[in-house]
Amino acid sequence: MLEQIEKIRVEATEGIVKASSSAELEELRVKFLGRKAELTQILRGIAQLPPEERGPVGGAANKGRKELEALIARSAERLDAAELDAKLVADRVDVTMPGAPPRPVGHQHLITRTTRLIEDIMVGLGYEVAEGPEIEHDYYNFTALNHPVGHPARQLQDTFYVQSHPDVLLRTHTSPMQIRAMETQGPPIFIVIPGKVYRRDSDATHSPMFHQMEGLAIAEGLTLADLQGTLLAMSRALFGDTREVRLRPHYFPFTEPSVEVDVSCFQCEGTGVLADGGRCNLCKGQGWIEILGAGMVDPNVLGFVAEKGYDPERVQGFAFGLGIERVAMLRHSVPDLRRFFDNDVRMLEQFA
Amino acid sequence: MRVPYTWLREYCDPGLPVEELADRLVMTGTEVERIDVVGPPKPDNFVIGKVTEAVQHPDADRLRVCTVEVGEDGPRTIVCGAPNVGAGQTVAVALPGARMPGGDKLRKAKLRGVASEGMILAADEIEIGDEHDGIMVLDDALAAGTPLAEVVPLAEPVLEIEVTPNRSDCFGVHGVAREVHAVTGAALGPDPWAEDAPAEAPGNVEDFAKVTVEVPDLCPRFTARVFRDVKIGPSPLWLRERLAAAGQRPISNVVDITNYVMLLTAQPLHAYDLDKVPGGELIVRAAREGEKMTTLDDVERVLDPDTVLVCDRDRPSGIAGLMGGQVSEVSDATTNLLLEAANWNGPNILQTSRRLSLRSEASARFEKQLHPDLTMRAQAVASKLLVELCGATMVPGTIDVAAPAPEPRTLRLRGARVTSILGMEVSQAEQVTYLERLGFGARVDGDDLEVSVPADRYYDVTREIDLIEEVGRLHGFDRHLPTTLPRVGEGKVGRLNRTQRLRRRAEDELRDLGFDQIVGWSFNDPGEAGRLRIEEPDPRADPILVANPLSDEGAAMRTTLLGSLLGVAARNLARGAESVALFEAGAVYLRGAPPESGGPLAGDFPGDTPAPVTEPHRYGALAVGPLAPRSWRGGGEPVDFFALKGVLEALAGSLGCPPLEFEPASEPFLHPGRSAAVSLGGAPLGWLGEIHPLVCRTWDIDAAVGFEIDAAPLLAAATLGEEAFEDVTTFPAALRDLAVVVPADTAAATVRAAVLAGGGELLRSAEVFDLYAGPQLGEGEKSLALALEFRAADRTLTDEEVDAARASIEAELTKIGGTLRA
Ligand SMILES: [Zn+2]
């Protein structure tokens, strides 16, 4: 009896291992483990066996059955996977067809990108950001910035005025926000103000509408050297870690001393000469590029907000005004200011 | 201001190449825009010649064949076409090889068969004035062969200086020379006004002239001198060269002298033909309202009482500080001269100049406010020249009608303050040196200085801080200024505020939803509202107007972003774009005060008065053509109302705003059936819709969809960044779908509201996901399918609870005529 069981086991194992389809495997299962299978019959007949044989035969038959069951399960898994593979291989696509286009993402305007960049740099230096009105009162745009009525400096900026409101104008700079910010908050104050400004001027380097970033820092003991350090930090963040800045004395009515600020040219590394020996076109061979106007806030300006704690004998500081388009033009080689407001999508889509 | 270098060096010669001087000036605050070279590029081959013979050209009526001595090389034959050439003249000659202005090289040439070995020069040929009628006839004392450059500067470098409005002194060559002295330390010569002319005519100035000033506040000083036996003629070459190089056309000696002295001292002068001034009497008075006068430029001008006139007994003779009149102009016949050097009120000159749109070299100086003392300096320099160059004799005395002179100004300069403002040390000795070079007086008082301010800087330097600037700039920021970073904040952290962060998020979201950001013009032409079919009394039809626009295109402040978006879309489509999706984040400008006053940062006008304008910040979007590109797998569906509605809802969702509300409503520029008024929490936000076909046609666009909403209420409702955790995982939700049949005109929002009302607290969301209308339903009916989510925070819901809620929903739906579909 035991030999018979062993023979069945060997025969069945051989068949199961060789089975090449699920159907064949099912046939083998019915043949060896089904109700009419030999092994099933043996197990059913155990009770008729002599008592001393019942133990060994029953054990062997049970063990054989379990082994075969496990083997069939493993084979079934193997055959299922093989059959699935065969089906998948038949389900073939042309991998060279174009991919489905994702929904397109739009583009940030270069003015926005540049504004954020400068804001982030100044925030990194500890500054806050403020915004303010573009249609402005003469008092904020001129008078409180030390441009009294009849002062020739008013003519430095050709101004758009609002009809039937002789005191109302389109702000010519973001500087009115110096006064508005100081009227709102006492010293110390460290803020930048981005925004649109307007001047009556139009050519390749002048647009009647453009954007500025104003900076204002007032506290005890701020110096012109601090202004230089601040602008150096900003210039390096904007134009590269090896940049230098230089301050040229200048005149603005609302700062004293006033300076124009040049940054060393990042195209020729400040030499004025390109690698091929030609004159640098970016700095016109000067090695320096003018980027902004700045200065120590004039005590007269602080005098307009003295009741907010801006006593020029106690606090002092600096202000600067940066052209955002100018920075964008330098950083991205945009040749003409007017392109920013043309909004040609072929240009917009060049900048993510 | 054009400063010829030779003229400058007469007062202060820095011994530097002009480029190096320019660099030094630039780094100390005098902006040199460029260095211009006047005259021939090189002085070689320009000499003095003597015409020994001038005979008619055999073959040309208008040419003369001249024999000209030019020194060593012997006489040259030169063919000359000038009508005034003649034997015995001393002339300027260009020999072959000379480089003419513009760079052309002069060569030997045959003129009508006669060889010519050079050119006898007219003034304009070496850029001394624009005379071309005849050759220059020079002083006979000059020897033949003398290099012309020894007589008159050739290849003269001219510093073109952009004078800032505070530095009226640099509107004179002498002021620039003082600056060069201060910057370089090179010696400054004696003041050119140190010596006056002898007064050798009989009588006294009061015998010939009388001046009355009726408006002393507008005319702080009026000085006049009288000259006799004046001989009008051309100025000498050196004077003409200087004027020409400085950009002033030489005219005649008297006029040239007044211009020359103005260019030297910054004080304008005016010369009158005394014989044309009745009784020699001048009156300075305000114009009468509506008074008319013809100025030298032949324009009749209507005046008002803010205009100051210089008049003779009978009529106005000139507008003070701006322009003379024709009546008493100096002519070739003039022999007696009255020379005016006056001082005017700067702001008044500026305003008059603007009002009359009249500017002159004189007004450009007067409007900066000159010191009254400058008048007598100019009188002294001009008198000497009139005597020397015009053969004039000066009548003794000066008429001097002057208001009390401005108080001398003394300022205290604290040594500690210099350091604390600049952040660099400037020793007291250096401070004194710099100030004295600039013409200030400095007396040491401990660590401080008592500084007296010279007349040329009187109105510019009025405070200690102005002195600090002078000291600092001469010390040199480029060489000495340290680079330090201030301690910022004192406990505050630099960061964007919440609104600024939300704005960035909103802009990023619109970009990520497929829209290109534009920056539109804030102004447009006043017809834009009309093209958008917006009509009065809609406030958007009444834009804020610019009083002085560059053109009609920029005459009105925009009242919508839509106009900008349509313009940009149309332009891009015309340039070949097949579709565009654009957005703008920017302001529009409306009449009337903002609804709430918010202090100076929110735009209030001075004294906390509300501004007469509001500048709401808005988001606008416009799409033309498909939002998703066409491909072999689909896409390319034209954008419609619901596509933009999805964008707008996604924008609000990205900020964590509660759901937006949409109601059918129309704007004149929108499709009346496919447009909505958008609100949030009941507050109006803006509009959404398909653009009216007539508006599209105006912009030459087939079809477009857009929205425009106010940023403030949207950002105010945002919860982004302030979200609190809610447990939605411990007790799972029960999900159910629901189909309800309602009359076709029932709004989906009405159905949804009924479902939410019926679902009660357990119903957390109900979203419409399908719409069906067709044969399976009755006429005039539609079916909406909604996905419902039921959830409780403290337990897993039982089927009984959900069924009860569903029954309650059904009851609510019945109230609006709805029935549940099986
Ligand atoms: Zn360069």
Model-level pTM?
0.89
Angle separating helix axes B415-422 and B464-475, nearest 10 degrees: 60
pLDDT (0 to 100) of residue B485: 94
Residue B748 scores a pLDDT above 70: yes
Nearest to B373 by CA among B282, B273, B278, B459: B459
What pLDDT, on a 0 to 100 scale, did the predictor assign at position B596?
73
* pLDDT of A31: 87
Overall average pLDDT of the B101-117 stretch:
88
B415-435 pLDDT, tens per residue? 999 999 999 999 999 999 999
The minimum CA-CA distance between A290 and chain B, rounded to whole Å, is: 13
What is the residue type of A267?
Q
pLDDT tens, position by position, A193-235: 999 999 998 887 889 999 999 999 999 999 999 999 999 999 9
How many residues does this entry show for chain A? 352
Compute the Cα dihedral for B594, B598, B599, B603 and give only its sign: negative
Q: What is the pLDDT of residue B127?
A: 86
Query: Chain centroid to CA B95: how far?
Result: 47
Partner A contacted by B603 (CB < 8 A): yes
Cα of A267 to ligand 1 centre, how many Å? 5
Chain A residues close to B483, C-beta within 8 Å:
225, 228-229, 232
Interval between CA A352 and ligand 1 midpoint (Å): 27
* Reported confidence tier of residue B307, pLDDT bands at 50, 70, 90: very high
**CB-CB neighbors (< 8 A) of A184 in chain B:** 599-601
Mean pLDDT across the stretch A147-160?
Answer: 79
A281 Cα: distance to centroid of ligand 1 (angstroms): 6
Cα separation, B192 vs B30, in Å, equals 22
Inter-chain residue contact B165 with A316, CB threshold 8 Å: no
Calpha distance B717→A259 (Å, rounded) = 44
Query: Which of A105, A128, A156 comes nearest B165 by C-beta?
Result: A156
pLDDT exceeds cutoff 80 at B643: yes
Q: Are A29 and A22 in contact (CB under 8 A)?
A: no
Tell me which residue in A190, A223, A233 faces B420 most closely, judged by beta carbons.
Answer: A223
Tell me: the pLDDT tens digits for A282-295? 899 999 999 999 99
Among B522, B581, B631, the residue with its CB nearest the CB of A100 is: B631
Q: What are the structure tokens assigned to B252, written together?
A: 């005649």
Give me the sign of the Cα torsion angle B96, B99, B105, B109.
Answer: negative
For B456-468, what is the mean pLDDT? Answer: 96
Interface of A with B in 123-152 (CB under 8 A): 123-130, 132-135, 137, 139-140, 149-152
What value does the mean pLDDT take over residues B200-215? Answer: 95
Which candidate from B465, B484, B492 shows the least CB-CB separation from A225? B484
At residue B490, does pLDDT exceed 90?
A: no
For residue B491, what pLDDT is reported?
A: 67
ipTM: 0.90
Chain B residue with minimum CA distance to A224 = B422
Q: Which pLDDT score, from 0 to 100, does residue A249 have?
A: 97
Q: Which amino acid is at B95?
A: L
* pLDDT at residue A108 greater than cutoff 80: yes
Per-residue pLDDT reduced to its tens digit, A228-247: 999 999 999 999 999 999 99
CB proximity B485 to A under 8 Å: yes
- Average per-residue pLDDT in chain A? 92
Give A47-80 pLDDT, tens digit per residue: 888 888 888 888 888 888 888 889 999 988 988 8
E strand spans, chain A: 128-129, 135-137, 161-162, 165-170, 189-198, 209-219, 245-252, 255-264, 288-297, 316-323
> Which of helix, strand or coil describes residue A307?
helix
Residues in Cβ contact with B702 at an 8 Å cutoff, skipping those fewer than 6 apart: B624, B696
pLDDT at A156 (0 to 100):
66
Query: Is it the case that residue A263 has pLDDT exceeding 80?
Result: yes
Q: How far apart are the first and last CA of chain B?
A: 92
- Candidate from A218-227, B19-28, B543-552, B607-616 with smallest mean pLDDT: B607-616
Question: What residues of A are in contact with residue B28 (Cβ under 8 Å)?
Answer: 249
- Distance (Å) from the alpha carbon of A204 to chain B's nearest alpha carbon: 15
How many Å apart are CA B399 and CA B272, to the nearest integer? 14
Model confidence over B232-287: pLDDT tens digits? 998 988 999 999 999 999 999 999 999 999 999 999 999 999 999 999 999 999 99
Q: Is the pLDDT of residue A20 over 70?
A: yes
Q: What is the pLDDT of residue B245?
A: 93
Closest-CA distance of chain A to residue B478, Å: 6
Q: Does B489 score more than 70 pLDDT?
A: no
Q: What is the pLDDT of residues A113-146, one digit of tens each?
A: 999 999 999 999 999 999 999 999 999 999 999 9
Instruction: Give the CA dihedral B3, B8, B14, B15, nearest 10 degrees.
Output: 100
Expressed in angstroms and rounded, the spacing between residue A292 Cα and the centre of ligand 1 is 17
Give B 455-474 residues with CB within 8 A of chain A: 463, 465-466, 468-469, 472-473
Res B745 pLDDT > 90: yes
Of A132, A258, A316, the CB nearest to B603: A132
pLDDT value at position A21? Answer: 86
Q: What is the pLDDT of residue B139?
A: 87
Judge contact between B215 and B325, C-beta under 8 A. Answer: no
Answer yes or no: is pLDDT of B326 > 80: no
Distance, in Å, from the CA atom of B280 to the CA atom of B196, rounded to the nearest integer, reads 23
Measure the N-to-C terminal CA separation of chain A; round to a whole number of Å: 83
β pairing state of A189-198 and A128-129: parallel
Please tell me which residue, B297 or B757, carries the higher pLDDT value: B757
Residue type for A36, please? Answer: K
A228 Cβ under 8 Å from any chain B Cβ: yes
Instruction: Say whether A132 and B601 touch across the interface (CB within 8 A).
Output: yes
What's CA B621's distance to the chain center, in Å? 33
Average pLDDT over residues B38-54: 91
Residue B662 pairs in a beta bridge with B678
Average pLDDT over residues B59-72: 89
Q: Could you give the strand order of the β-sheet that contains A161-162, starting from the edge strand earlier in sequence? A: A135-137, A165-170, A161-162
pLDDT tens readout for residues B688-719: 999 999 999 999 999 999 999 999 999 999 99
- Pick the closest to residue B510 from B586, B583, B563 (CA basis): B583
Greatest Cα pair distance, chain A, in angstroms, is 132
The predicted pLDDT at position B597 comes to 66
Residue A84 Cα, gap to closest chain B Cα (Å): 27
CA distance B81 to B76: 16
Average pLDDT, chain B: 93
Q: Is A224 on the interface with B (CB under 8 A)?
A: yes
Nearest to A161 among B547, B580, B635 (CB): B547
Q: Check residue B89 and give its pLDDT.
A: 92
